[in-house]
């Protein structure tokens, strides 16, 4: 064991203890995968990260550091709040001395490849990795709905969302119903599925979107109506259940919010800029800012604050 610099960061908040905590080991050198997984299990946070020098291939492409991301039960190829929190810790620790004064972009290496992170005033924003999505089987959605204690008829749309982590995304029509859910986490764990649920306020979710997921209606359903992009009041409520990787409910989830935005913006069911709130049922108030730039790239932004700063023996 040796003494290593360590931070615990609260992500997607500017107020300590209202976001999603992240453990960051700033020097993960010489640690095995088993060592990292054991420590992540011990912290019992939704994610723990370990910073390393980039691989030679990534360094040649300009990567500033490499991050490995662990839940209490598994390693992830990518996750949003660990991306922003690790970059916050890296910058705060003074590791950015090599950056030019006018260079506000940090390049992170992780399991999905290189991820761009840019500074936006007090916030950091990451470029959402490419999304692969597909329609889940109706029988599976019904099983998940039963495990959630949710009437399947209240699900407006469903989609497999894969931007590194794989989520089953469900869009539901009632914020009250979303916030009242008390899932059977053991059933969700046995299904082996991470589930993200969203409700969009002030969004005209037409039956067209439901029809598009129905095989018989797909050929006849029109695209959902586009939203007025001048409506800056559109908000989203989000919950994330991930018992399959050892986290019953995640307080604030960057990867899920990224893939929800990519899905719903592409369908015209969310505007190109909005704010998502997550963690309400856990006594948190995470705020995730989503924005699609003119080139179509979705950026996921939030503030971070360090709550613990010291060393850890590993």
pLDDT tens profile 225-276: 333 434 445 699 999 999 998 889 999 999 999 999 999 999 999 999 999 9
- The mean pLDDT of 164-175, rounded to a whole number, is 94
Q: For the residues 274-282, what does the mean pLDDT come to? A: 95
Domain 3-128+302-313, CATH number (from 3.40.462.20, 2.40.30.10, 3.40.50.720, 3.10.310.10): 3.10.310.10
CATH code 3.10.310.10 region(s) in the chain:
3-128+302-313, 132-286
Backbone torsions φ then ψ of 114, nearest 5 degrees: -100, 135
Assign 104 a pLDDT band (cuts: 50, 70, 90): confident
Per residue in 5-51, pLDDT (tens digit) is 999 999 999 999 999 999 999 999 999 999 999 999 999 999 999 99
Over 80: is that where the pLDDT of 280 sits? yes
- Whether residue 234 contacts residue 281, with contact meaning beta carbons closer than 8 Å, is answered with no
**Domain 132-286: which topology?**
Diaminopimelate Epimerase; Chain A, domain 1 (3.10.310)
In 3D space, the residue among 305, 279, 288 whose CA is nearest the CA of residue 89 turns out to be 305
Averaged pLDDT, 103-123:
91
- Name beta bridge partners: 155: 172
Q: What is the mean pLDDT of residues 196-223?
A: 51
């Amino acid at each position: 064991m040796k003494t290593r610099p360590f931070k615990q960061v609260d992500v997607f908040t500017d107020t300590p203890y209202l976001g999603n905590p992240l453990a960051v080991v700033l020097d993960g050198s010489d640690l095995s995968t088993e060592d990292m997984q054991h420590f992540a299990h011990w912290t019992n946070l939704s994610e723990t990260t370990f910073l390393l020098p980039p691989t030679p291939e990534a360094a040649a492409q300009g990567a500033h550091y490499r991050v490995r991301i662990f839940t209490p039960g598994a390693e992830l190829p990518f996750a949003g709040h660990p991306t922003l929190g690790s970059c916050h810790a890296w910058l705060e620790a003074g590791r950015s001395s090599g950056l030019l004064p006018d260079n506000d972009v940090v390049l992170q290496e992780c399991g999905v490849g290189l991820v761009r992170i840019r500074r936006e005033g007090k916030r950091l924003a990451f470029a959402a990795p490419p999304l692969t999505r597909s329609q889940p089987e109706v029988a599976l959605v019904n099983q998940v709905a039963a495990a959630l204690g949710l009437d399947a008829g209240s699900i407006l749309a469903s989609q497999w969302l894969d931007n590194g982590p794989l989520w089953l995304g469900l869009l539901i029509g009632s914020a009250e119903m979303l916030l009242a859910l008390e899932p059977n986490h053991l059933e969700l764990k046995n299904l082996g599925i991470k589930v993200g649920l969203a409700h969009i306020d002030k969004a005209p979710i037409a039956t067209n979107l439901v029809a598009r997921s129905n095989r018989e209606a797909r050929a006849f359903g029109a695209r959902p109506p586009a939203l007025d992009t001048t409506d800056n009041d559109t908000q989203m409520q989000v919950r994330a259940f991930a018992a399959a990787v050892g986290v019953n409910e995640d307080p604030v989830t960057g990867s899920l919010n990224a893939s929800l935005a990519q899905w719903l913006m592409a369908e015209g069911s969310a505007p190109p800029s909005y704010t998502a709130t997550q963690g309400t049922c856990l006594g948190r108030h995470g705020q995730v800012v989503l924005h699609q730039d003119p080139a179509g790239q979705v950026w996921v932004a939030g503030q971070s604050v360090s709550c613990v700063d010291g060393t850890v023996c590993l």
